[in-house]
Amino acid sequence: MTQTYDAIIIGAGVMGASIAFHLAERGLKVAILERKVTASGATGHSSGLVRMHYDLAAESHLTFASYKNYFSVWKERVGGECGFQQTGFLQVAKREHEDKLRGNVANQQKIGINTSVVSAADVKKLFPDLVTEHFDFAAYEPDSGYADATLTTNSFLESAKRNGATLLQNCEVTAIHIGGGKVSGVSTTKGDFSSPVIVDAVGPWAKHVASLAGVDVPLVTWTHDVAFLHRPPTLGKIPAVIDDVINCYFRPEGSALILAAGEDESLRGETPDAEDQTPTPTFLEKLIDAMAQRIPKIEESGLHSIHVGRDGITPDQRAIYSGTELVGFYLACGLSGTGFKTSPAAGASMAELILDGKPKTVDITPFRFSRFAEGQLLEGEYGYGHIWK
């Protein structure tokens, strides 16, 4: 017998969980269908940064709303835990990008973000173990840090279930039903489900799921290696950092580890189902060499573990939050490795788009699906170039 819902969310990663939470909060009967288990795809391998510095103001709006209205008040707003840790955040800029750094910080200050341009000398005072001779200025957000993507996802889902949502794991969508130019439901490995609203939020599988509805989404699979390093015993306080000079990012992971990754060796085009968890051959050596330029004490460290994560990446390396020409079929995908920190506000805005026809939490119109056909790819107002080289 076909079960009927007001909305079906395909994918129980953090973005699907957020959309389900917000729709259920508005009173919809929601089903979340997950091919494996919750947070088993890109979310489970997220680096979990909570920061607001982007070269595109629309992304800073999303991250600021997510921080202010969710991560900083998680228990009151959502319930459960998100694991947010306020460490501060530094965006280290190349010397030739000083004007762009200042332009982006000015845009973010207009939004209301607590950020400022600080000198290398200021950084040294704040974090004495960081070498600062390779740059002149950075953007500093004292309120930012990182959170736990799996905890965040589970909190969204538990709250959604308290509001009547149903989560089905090990439930793969095999067909999307269409009639009269609109969706009507899905077939899965656990039976058929009827709904006038279907949201594709399945990370690297989004292109395949969209193809079941006859929608061609321009994304490829993006593979990213992340290392966990033992924290050197003499290392002092460090913030979360995105470092454009050495092309890597890093942050504390609790009190005993440091999470770190490079930005210039990510692979493209692997199958989303790839089981290979082997990092690229030069990943660790290049990462340690780069990190040692900023934190010399990293030479006292050692490797704890490496994981390999996959997401979907679009041609402009920006997300898709949008309806489509197929009535009732929505996309929240192509997150390009930046979806976690935007997920609360993006989920709220998607729910408003679905129910009200227009988002109000944040204007997600720039992330519309049609921009690719229009030739209107997103570019930062003070662009640093692509994040992933």
Tally of CA atoms within 13 A in the half-sphere of 156 that contains its CB: 31
Separation of first and last alpha carbons in the chain: 49
51-94 per-position pLDDT tens digit: 999 999 999 999 999 999 999 999 999 999 999 999 999 999 99
Cβ-Cβ contacts under 8 Å for 329 (sequence gap 6 or more): 176, 182, 183, 198, 200, 210, 213, 215, 323
With beta carbons less than 8 A apart as the criterion, state whether 206 and 333 touch: yes
With beta carbons less than 8 A apart as the criterion, state whether 284 and 303 touch: yes
Q: Where are the alpha helices (DSSP H) in the chain?
A: 14-25, 57-69, 74-77, 98-111, 120-126, 149-162, 206-212, 283-294, 339-356, 371-374
What the block records as the tokens of 300 is: 């006292």
The Cα 288–Cα 302 span in angstroms is 10
Q: Residue ranges of the domains in the chain?
A: 3-45+150-219+316-374, 84-144+221-309
Place of tokens 């341009």: 117
Q: Is the pLDDT of residue 266 over 80?
A: no
**Rg of the chain in Å (alpha carbons):** 21
Q: Where residue 389 falls among pLDDT bands split at 50, 70, 90?
A: low
Q: In terms of Cα–Cα distance, which of 337, 352, 237 is closest to 297?
A: 237
pLDDT confidence of residue 275: 59
Which CATH topology does 3-45+150-219+316-374 take?
FAD/NAD(P)-binding domain (3.50.50)
With beta carbons less than 8 A apart as the criterion, state whether 247 and 302 touch: no
151-171 per-position pLDDT tens digit: 999 999 999 999 999 999 999
What the block records as the tokens of 271 is: 């199958």
pLDDT confidence of residue 274: 64
pLDDT confidence of residue 277: 72
The Cα 225–Cα 281 span in angstroms is 11
pLDDT confidence of residue 111: 98
- Domain spanning 84-144+221-309: which superfamily? D-Amino Acid Oxidase, subunit A, domain 2 (3.30.9.10)
